[in-house]
Structure 1
Amino acid sequence: MSRRDRAVVVTGLGLVSCAGEGIEAHLAAFAAAGPPRTDAESFAPYPVHPVAPLALDTQIPKKSDQRQMEAWQRLGVYAAGLALDSAGVKDDSGFKSALQLIVAAGGGERDYAVDGAILTGLRGTNDPGAYLNERLLNDLRPTLFLAQLSNLLAGNISIVHGVTGASRTFMGEESSGVDALRIGHARIASGQVETMMVGGSYSAERPDVMVVHEMGGYLLKPDYRPVFERGDGGGFVLGSAAAFLVLESAEHAAARGARALARLMPVANDRVARAPGSVSASLTRLIGEAGIERPDVVLSGATGLRDLAAEEVAGIRAALPETGIRATGDLIGHPLEVAAPFGAALAAAFCAAGSAREVVVTSVGHRRGEGVIRVVAA
């Protein structure tokens, strides 16, 4: 085997969502196949899937660290700690000093008072463009912006858990999660590094994200319905979630006596111009090029937008007509950047539990980006 074809294995998983925390909680929730925990009141008329209560002290011991993080950062740091525990390296400073990190993340949380004042003022101005520029220049403090940088999640993981290898943060909604996995796998498979931790986090329990996505017409309301059963134009139900995977070369994992939970295969991605049939054709092609033939299940990261979901199913059916499809949105909601890492982590959990030998994860971004992730038993 050449160093450019090294096997990449998953040795640690960290999961948090409305279904709970850890591998067992999510396997149990998936098997139960009931509706996910949903809050229909806090942001009515928009339902949301809130994260289950977490004992933050177990993964973020210092209260000062907890206070200086936004909610999405606390979720990510918590899940990263679970992944390190799962891999058996939480107290291995040597392993963590070489461990590189790739995070898929969106923007930080908004200053609601400033946003509200700007939106109110826009109603009464004769020149909305000039007014908006002036307010953005004068009302947004530099320190406020710096506190919201997306790479702060990687920084907090480094501070709290001592992961001091190089880090990268990808932005770009659902596609960033696909690319985080793709690059993480490729760097290990090529021999550039031995270990990577890949994942992301998303806090859905925020008024600002409701405004942003409702302005685009993307949200389902007023009640939760299963992803593939959403009438009219459909829509997504946002979910707070975080997922991290510890990846290693198979040789490195074996040398330290670590159990390989699953093997991550090369990740395929695309970015087609959206037109009728383009998404289904893209997925069919990606599945075929990956050599996927008879997986046990497809975990779809479908957002819940009706037309996109229909195209995604059509593309999967064209390539894999006999394989069942389950939407991760029916388990945790839609966590944008986290959708692909969460699907990959859940797939690895299936393989580790012996309930699947091969799982395919699909991702179709609500505006752009397609991806296919293949996870097989180690």
Structure 2
Amino acid sequence: MPDTRAARREVWITGIGLVSSLGEGLEAHWEALTNGQAPITDATTFAPYVVHPLVKVSFDSQIPKKGDQRQMEPWQRIGTYAAGLALEAAGIAKNTEILSKTDMIVAAGGGERDFAVDAAILNDLSTSNDPGRMLNERLLSDLRPTLSLAQLSNLLAGNISIVHGVTGSSRTFMGEESAGVEAVRIAHARIASNQSEIGLVGGAYNAEREDTLLLNDLDDFCLKGEFRPVFSKPEPGIAAGSMGAFLVLESPEHAKARGATPIAKLSGVWSERARRQVEGALGDKVRALLATVGADGANAIISCATGARDATTPEAEALAATGRPVRAVSNRLGHGFEAQFIAGLALGALCVSKGALYPALAGDPLETAGAGVSRVVVTSVGHWRGEGAGVVEKI
């Protein structure tokens, strides 16, 4: 078999859509990151849990039909909104000819629950003399017919297709942080290997959900009380963040043909999974990833560290050993699970496009001063499984 690696093309990032607690769009994020803006957190609404709430946005600007908005759950609205920002930034919004050929890969979680109904059923179960029968009756009578549809993870891709007209191939990946890594890896590989010319890839997360906060707290993952930097000691736990992050990836040939200006180059994405039940395996896997992507040749590392116990310390030790300045996405945006790695790539592309690294967060031992930036490594260590990395470079 011939070696086809020499034929692999570059992959450019030509559009980024990012919305989080810090704002919407790249310039709003850069201003917030560089002007000393403290992390925006809410420690009271869902006390004792700490979350990074979504900035107030006008969904009408990207999802003009109220009927479309009503049938979406919050995470779908956030994702559809961010996807629209990415398409606008790339200059292909409403361009039906290009959008009809734009491939889409989405990293998504499960749909949101009607937790008012869930809570009522659970309360009644505790006092029922016939819980099985009561449960069946309540599930048939209380759950709205659309709830089952709303649980479908691929509805985010469907809504993006309906609202923005992205009608190329469509794929949806599930699997928390690993889903985000895999989504970008596949999108990158398809363009690099000449299987695709342009793609939209991203994810979204709604952190302001009582059900997922409870779910994560049952495994002792959540940050409680007040905000602490992600690499502080002891491991603080996860401060979830509402966010939507989408990238438009494109071959240089396609971008040049339509006169697009690239933001950065995505040089590669790697996905791994350590056997975490083996002592020391996670740290070894992260160090191997850093060696593979050439972290020693990078100006900085943007970490998607979660803050989760037993996951964050091995990553911190591996990152510290590189001697590179580190920035943690969670320190500014919170943790967005499926969307986190894409948000990290977005911040990495923003840094290389500006040629600078935004200031360190006071109190985080790994965030140190940085200088000029032309090559950034983005790392991802899932809160309980999955590791990955990507490289973003200046063009």
Q: For 2:248, which of 235, 246, 253 is the aligned residue? A: 246
Residues 141 and 228 (structure 1), Cα distance of their counterparts in 2 relative to 1, 3 Å cut: same
User: Which 5+ residue runs of structure 2 have no aligned equivalent?
Assistant: 357-372
Alignment-derived partner of residue 365 in structure 2 = none
> Could you tell me whether the CA contact under 8 Å between 2:102 and 2:198 is conserved in 1?
yes
Residues 199 and 215 (structure 1), Cα distance of their counterparts in 2 relative to 1, 3 Å cut: same
Cα distance between partner residues in 1 of 2:134 and 2:293: 47
Alignment-derived partner of residue 344 in structure 2 = 343
User: Is 1:365 the equivalent of 2:382?
Assistant: yes
Residues 359 and 132 (structure 1), Cα distance of their counterparts in 2 relative to 1, 3 Å cut: farther
TM-score (norm 1): 0.93
Which amino acid is 1:5 matched to? R
Q: For 2:77, which of 71, 74, 94 is the aligned residue? A: 74
Cα distance between partner residues in 1 of 2:330 and 2:13: 23
> Could you tell me whether the CA contact under 8 Å between 1:9 and 1:248 is conserved in 2?
yes
Percent identity, please.
Answer: 51
Listed as ranges, the matches of 1:90-109 within 5 Å are 90-109=93-112
Deviation for aligned residue 1:42: 1.0
> Could you tell me whether the CA contact under 8 Å between 1:3 and 1:191 is conserved in 2?
no
Matched residue SS, 1:276: coil
Listed as ranges, the matches of 1:213-292 within 5 Å are 213-231=216-234, 233-274=235-276, 275-292=278-295
Cα distance between partner residues in 1 of 2:115 and 2:257: 51
Listed as ranges, the matches of 1:130-145 within 5 Å are 134=136, 138=140, 143-145=146-148
| Partner deviation per Cα, 1:126-169 (whole Å, 9 max, x = no partner) | 998x6898579656566421122111111111111111111111
TM-score (norm 2): 0.89
Alignment-derived partner of residue 162 in structure 1 = 165
> Could you tell me whether the CA contact under 8 Å between 2:283 and 2:317 is conserved in 1?
yes
Cα distance between partner residues in 2 of 1:136 and 1:273: 41
> Could you tell me whether the CA contact under 8 Å between 1:11 and 1:248 is conserved in 2?
yes
> Could you tell me whether the CA contact under 8 Å between 2:94 and 2:165 is conserved in 1?
no
Cα distance between partner residues in 2 of 1:122 and 1:217: 25
User: Is 1:111 the equivalent of 2:114?
Assistant: yes
Alignment-derived partner of residue 196 in structure 1 = 199
User: Is 1:44 the equivalent of 2:61?
Assistant: no
Which amino acid is 1:90 matched to? A
Deviation for aligned residue 1:181: 0.6
Cα distance between partner residues in 2 of 1:204 and 1:194: 33
Alignment-derived partner of residue 29 in structure 1 = 32
Matched residue SS, 1:227: coil
> Could you tell me whether the CA contact under 8 Å between 1:104 and 1:171 is conserved in 2?
yes
Moved more, 23-32 or 172-181: 23-32
Aligned residues: 374
